Every structure is written in structure tokens, then in C-alpha cells.
Structure 1
């Protein structure tokens, strides 16, 4: 994948807690870890036809438009946010920002 939505779906980490998913003309920010056992969703399976993301650990599957869990071990919903076209994705804080806020 090249990272351009017109080339197909993309899924990339944007900081420790979030993923940016670009699929079917949509940009979605989702939590980076599965609520079941904290599986790293960036290594999951992204189905661009059904707009679902499956965790690589225990195969919990989530609807990317609602965050609702549709299969797998009971674990609740995934936090998702559909971004409008004119809104940039959130950026992770710079390393210096994290240190300054901890002081």
C-alpha cells in the first residue's frame, strides 16, 4: 500500500493510541488497541467491502462506521470517529510536548 486512498485502503498508526484508516473514500480515526485483550489493530484485517476491522489476536470484528462489535469474544465497542474531508487527522504530540506536560 502506498498510503494514498485512491490506491486502496490504508491503515496507519498516528500516535500510540490511534489509527488513521482510509477506506472507500472515508477517513476514520479509531483506537489502536482492541478492547478485548489490547491486540494491536494495525496488524488486523481491514475489509474494504464491509468496512470492518478484525483484531489479529482473537478475531473480534468491528464495524468502522459505528465501532460496534459484530463478532468475536465479547468486549464492547471500538472508539471510532469519521473525519469530514476538510478536517486533518489528529497528530501525536511531539516528544518535547509530552515531557513538558509531565513537569
Structure 2
């Protein structure tokens, strides 16, 4: 449900969203779509790959890819240093459309 709301907001903001249900599917989507401009991921994901590991694997292929992590709780999986990396933001759940927009505005898409 949360992913659907985020997808709706991103679509309203003009983004074309490729939705994955877990990190494994996200990596499969990346293999088929190399022109991804932003990774928006929860920290806690099902099926063995968390958001931090997902971002690391994707940034190995696309080093400059902007990342926005989101979570209601990080379960200790994300340190402050992780989301202070270049072009990385953290958005605490629950968030509003305005919160998401402000976070996106802090990202560089160069």
C-alpha cells in the first residue's frame, strides 16, 4: 500500500516509476532498464536484499545514481554516514507529498 502511494506521488511529479516488490526484482528491472535516474527504496525489504545492499549493488553499476532511502524504522541497517553520502537522502515515514518533494529537490540529477 505504501509503495502504491509513493508511486502515485512520483507519477504526479512527472516521474516514470518502475516498481519492484523486493531488492531481487529491482536488480532485474535495472538489468533491463539502464536509464534509471533515481532509486527510491525502503531500508527493510523482503527476500534477502535490504535497501542499503540494493543501493550498493546498483551504484556499482551506476555510481552517480541518486538514492532516497525511506523507512519507519531502520532496524540498525542504516547509519547516519550511509545517508550522508553524495546525492543520498533519507526520508522518515510517514511522510507527506510535500516532504517527498522537498527531499527530491535536495537531489542532483546531473
The TM-score normalised by the length of structure 2 is: 0.32
- Structure with bigger helix share is 2
- Structure with bigger strand share is 1
Kindly name which structure, 1 or 2, has the bigger radius of gyration based on alpha carbons. Answer: 1
The TM-score normalised by the length of structure 1 is: 0.33
